[in-house]
Amino acid sequence: MVKETEIKLRVSRDTLAALREHPLLKKRNKSGWEQRELFNQYFDTPDRDLAQAKVALRIRRDGDAFIQTLKSRGQSIAGLSERNEFDWHLDQAELDLSKLDDSCWPAALADLDKSLLQPIFSTDFVRQRADIAWGRGKAKVQIEAALDLGKVIAGEGEEEICELELELRQGEPEALLELAAELAADLPLMPCDISKAERGYRLFDANSYSLSLPAPQLSGEMSLDDSFAAIAWHLLGSSQRLAEQYRFNGHWRLLVDWLEQLVDLRALIGSLGQAAPRSSSSELRQTLDALLHDWRPRVQAGQHDDAARQAAPAQFAAELQGTRWGQFSLISSRWLLTKGWTTSRNNRGNRQGAAPLGNWLPTLLAEEGHDLQLNRYQKQPEDLAEQLPRIERLLAWLHMARGVLEVPEVDRLYGELSKLSEQAHRAIDPESLAARQAQAHIVASLKAWRMLVK
């Protein structure tokens, strides 16, 4: 068994060709490019039991060699994935069920009748690979770069494979993100944690690609630093999966949800005070603000205008053809992996970052809630939009961490505050002003609000 640590980046055919000639890869290419044709047959039961258990089983033909591979459930965070991989060399292209014993077979599938395994789909592609090496201080780093071009074929359906795969052979995972970020400065690279196997299953069922990542499990005892990291990884990973699926099928709700992840992430970064000095997040905030500046008006327009909705897929495709989304995703991943918000902070910031979430969060909500001045906006509803950043900070924490609050009806508070946010985004007219006044009164009268803002 080996642990596979890699990052996948979706690219265009033009970008794939440009990567081969990229000066960065040329300079650090220690092996030259080697080309192979790889033919892969994936197996599962008719009920897709392996897919449900997050397990992939395939036989690969690589020249005259046949390799049976089992990839078990691992973790994938914002495009950077780690999985356990088991390989066996075979004499012929037939499954050897005897290899699938308790040493590798998931306990969740212990009762599965393996004789039900059958070919499901294939992924056939040409791979150009090279060994990329350089030093990070005294640490040696080796990465396998693979340029894959081919097809996933499932029944009558097929989808193109066109991606850069970077796999860590030696060194720390941060090295993958460093290399990818440098490449993304020049070329449009889209971090994408959908595997070739997931693409095959998606051809059978477009909804099989899971958009819902497990929600972070927070507790009042967790530090602010650990809580923020868990939430931010979740939001970033969710935004990447939503971007991939919207690119794939253009369903409007996916774009709305994608924007919501970015809004929450921006609000969280802006809420940490001295625990995240502004200088530590400057580059990240600038890129995120630029994305929100362009996409928030488009999504808001599309909520009421069919023409805006119909224009959005082409606009999103143009976004992906540029470098901004890839750079943002990779910069964010590296920032989170290295806990970049902790750099250059003072002792007070260190104490704040180490504070238990159960102590820090009520204090934040009380301060933000007091400064929101709901009583004022019941009288001056026309000015409510100026408080949107504060409302979004409140909503972001209530969305992801309200379970640690010992406050009654906190779910209702989140819902009513969300309605107030919606009202603040509406154009001003007599009807919307009255609705703002009424909603501000509802939020201010909630028991949960009064307890938090006491």
Please state, in angstroms and rounded to a whole number, the distance separating the CA atoms of residues 258 and 100.
39
Residue 371 within a domain: yes
Question: Looking at residue 3, which CATH number applies to its domain?
Answer: 2.40.320.10
Residue ending a domain, among 154, 175, 210, is: 210
Residue 236 within a domain: no
pLDDT band at 75 (very low <50, low <70, confident <90, very high): low
Residue 444 within a domain: yes
Residue 343 within a domain: no
What are the pLDDT digits (tens) for 202-217?
888 877 777 777 889 9
Closest CA to 324 of 298, 303, 295, 300: 295
Please state, in angstroms and rounded to a whole number, the distance separating the CA atoms of residues 60 and 71.
13
Q: Count of domains in the chain?
A: 2
Residue ending a domain, among 159, 188, 210, is: 210
Residue 365 within a domain: yes
Please state, in angstroms and rounded to a whole number, the distance separating the CA atoms of residues 124 and 127.
10
Please state, in angstroms and rounded to a whole number, the distance separating the CA atoms of residues 420 and 437.
9
pLDDT of residue 2: 62
pLDDT of residue 281: 94
Please state, in angstroms and rounded to a whole number, the distance separating the CA atoms of residues 293 and 302.
15
Please state, in angstroms and rounded to a whole number, the distance separating the CA atoms of residues 261 and 282.
19
Mean of per-residue pLDDT scores for the chain: 91
Is residue 380 scored above 80 in pLDDT? yes
- 3-state secondary structure at position 48: coil
- Which position has the token pair 């995240």? 276
Work out the widest C-alpha separation in the chain, in whole angstroms: 80
pLDDT of residue 172: 86
Residue 5 within a domain: yes
pLDDT of residue 60: 95
Is residue 78 scored above 60 in pLDDT? no
Q: Do 327 and 287 touch, CB atoms closer than 8 A? A: yes
User: Residue 162 carries which side chain, given as an amino acid letter?
Assistant: C
**223 DSSP assignment:** B
Residue 327 within a domain: no
pLDDT of residue 4: 74
Say which range, 73-82, 104-113, 167-176, has the weakest mean pLDDT. Answer: 73-82
Residue ending a domain, among 210, 234, 255, is: 210
User: Residue 182 carries which side chain, given as an amino acid letter?
Assistant: E
pLDDT of residue 83: 74
- Determine the structural domain holding residue 152 and report its residue range: 1-210
Residue 318 within a domain: no
Q: Quick one: average pLDDT of 111-124?
A: 94
pTM: 0.90
Residue ranges of alpha helices (H) inside 250-356 are 252-269, 282-302, 306-321, 324-337, 347-354
Find how far residue 239's CA is from the centre of its chain: 5
What are the pLDDT digits (tens) for 242-299?
999 999 899 999 999 999 999 999 999 999 999 999 999 999 999 999 999 999 999 9
Helical pair 224-249 and 347-354, crossing angle rounded to 10 deg: 70
